[in-house]
Amino acid sequence: IVEYRIGPDTALAPGRVPAGYPLEGVEILILGEDGAPHAAGESGEIAVRSRYLSPGYWRRPDRTRATFSGDATGNAPRVYRTGDLGRLPPDGCLELIGRLDHQVKVRGYLVHPDEIERRLLEHEEIRQAAVVGRDDGAGGNPLVAYLVPTRAPAPAPAVLRRFLQAR
């Protein structure tokens, strides 16, 4: 078993976020858009192949079909598509790159910026909206909204926060 420990003083190469090595009985795959495995060092969607995976999402057969494939009985390896982007360099230590669906974590909560964009577009004074998570340099990931108002001046941030909270 190979251990990979990261602490506050660990020096990492720029752009490298190591997630560690697969456990026994687990294989990590990097898949292309077509679902075919990529070669070492190429980036793509992270998938896990193992006979120890969940049979699927509770009461969500649609989501189970979209992310799991293979034998749900646990007798044969299954594949779980994580929705995360990553790469497997030659040393075998999985590296995380980001998400396929643009979801971000804010203070420990998973947030879908596209949902916030849709709600902002419901406001009569907003014509276009883009929401992204930004690294604040202090370990945080605040959301930032870029807006095109229907007329000037744009609604005040406090007005938009109340609007979003109501939805």
Concatenating the DSSP letter of every residue in 7-33 gives -TT----TT--EEE-PPTTEEEEEE-T
pLDDT at 2: 54
pLDDT of res. 11: 75
> Tell me, what's the pLDDT at 130?
92
In the chain (167 residues long), the average pLDDT of successive 10-residue segments reads 67 76 92 90 93 90 91 82 91 86 80 90 94 79 91 94 93
pLDDT of residue 97: 83
pLDDT (0 to 100) of residue 88: 92
